[in-house]
Every structure is written in structure tokens, then in C-alpha cells.
Amino acid sequence: MIIALAGRRIDASDAEITRFPLHDAALVRERVYQFLIHRKATALVCSAACGADLLALDVAGELGIERYIILPFAQDRFRTASVTDRPGEWGTLFDRITKEVQAAKHLMVLSEPDEDNNIFITTNKVILDKALTIAQQAIHNKREQAANSVLAVLVWDGQSRGQDDLTANFADEARMRGIPVFEITTVK
């Protein structure tokens, strides 16, 4: 089973609405762990932001699941903008995981110049397309069955923030491709 994943980053220190509090990271990590085992995941495709992405990548590495990272722009810039800007020690985890994934030649940087949400929407599309490509290769190599070979997983609070919600966009993009969508909650 190929897993395409997107989800919430850890809440900012001054967040008015709780979507993914740092104190629930271990609980969410365990939920992701159980999901990947239950679904017999063979590959995980996602970005590498603090919170859902890095927790899933860490669990997948622990389980020996093949990992693919899609970054919207350069690693250093992404680390500053989407990893270390929130509470928690995410920088060290990001550095270790990206190094491991890069060594396997599974790290893709899109290098888009956009500063707006369009680059993140593009990243969502590339994550889903990469998961479908991996599934097709696995089917061709007889490592996967065709039916339900890709799942889109949302690790979030279940509530869209509106039109600019990138996790909700990921779900919409998956559904447009006929990919089943599953949710793992980030709140108790």
C-alpha cells in the first residue's frame, strides 16, 4: 500500500485555535504508527514540515517503509519556513530524515519561485502523482495489487480553515484522482 500523506503542522505558540498541539505529538505519532502497520504500507510520500509530515516520516523509517519527500522549494528555506518556526525540536528530526531520504535518492525539490499558496498546492499534486507513479511501478513489478494501491491520509483536526486550507486541498485533489481518503485526528 502506497501512502500519500498531508496534514497539520504543530500549532504556533500563540495559536488561537487548537489544530495540532505539541503536547499531542506522541499520541498522533502512535496513531500514524498503528495506521501504517494496519494498512501494510510499503511507501510513504509527503513533504517534511513539522508535525504530521515529520512524525509520519520518522515512523515510516522505523518500520522500514520506503520514504519519499517532496519539498516546494530549497531545503534550507523550507526548514526555516515550515520546520523550525514552531514549538518543538523539529530541526534535528528534519535534518536526519532528509539526509536519509536524500541518500536513497527519494528527495525532490520543486524549486518553484512562487511565494504564495500555489507552490504548496503544486506540492500536494506532486505528492499524489508520485504516489500513483510508485503504485503503478509496483503493480508492474508485481509487488502491489491494483485495487486500492494508494491511500491519501490526512493527519488533521478534521476542520477546514477555508479555501486556503492546504490539507483540505490535498483531500480534494486525492478525491479528483479517485484515491480513497483516510483521516487520522490530531486532537483528542
pLDDT above 70 covers a percentage of the chain that reads 92
Distance of alpha carbon 145 from alpha carbon 136, whole angstroms: 9
Q: In the chain, how many domains are there?
A: 1
Taking the chain, what is the end-to-end CA distance rounded to the nearest angstrom?
27
CATH of the domain at 149: 3.40.50.450
pLDDT digits (tens, 9 = 90+) for 143-181: 555 555 999 999 999 999 999 999 999 999 999 999 999
Distance of alpha carbon 64 from alpha carbon 80, whole angstroms: 28
**Model confidence at 141: pLDDT above 90:** no
pLDDT digits (tens, 9 = 90+) for 93-137: 999 999 999 999 999 999 766 566 689 999 999 999 999 999 988
pLDDT digits (tens, 9 = 90+) for 56-98: 999 999 999 999 999 999 999 999 999 999 999 999 999 999 9
DSSP string, 26-50: HHHHHHHHHHHHHTT--EEEE---T
Residue 114 confidence (pLDDT): 57
Residue 188 confidence (pLDDT): 82
Side chain identity at 33, as an amino acid letter? Y
Residue 49 confidence (pLDDT): 98
Q: Is 163 within 8 Å of 15 (Cβ atoms)?
A: no
Residue 108 confidence (pLDDT): 97
Q: Is 44 within 8 Å of 65 (Cβ atoms)?
A: yes
Structural domain boundaries enclosing 72: 2-185
Residues 6+ apart with CB under 8 A from 107: 68, 69, 71, 75, 98, 101
- Model pTM score: 0.94
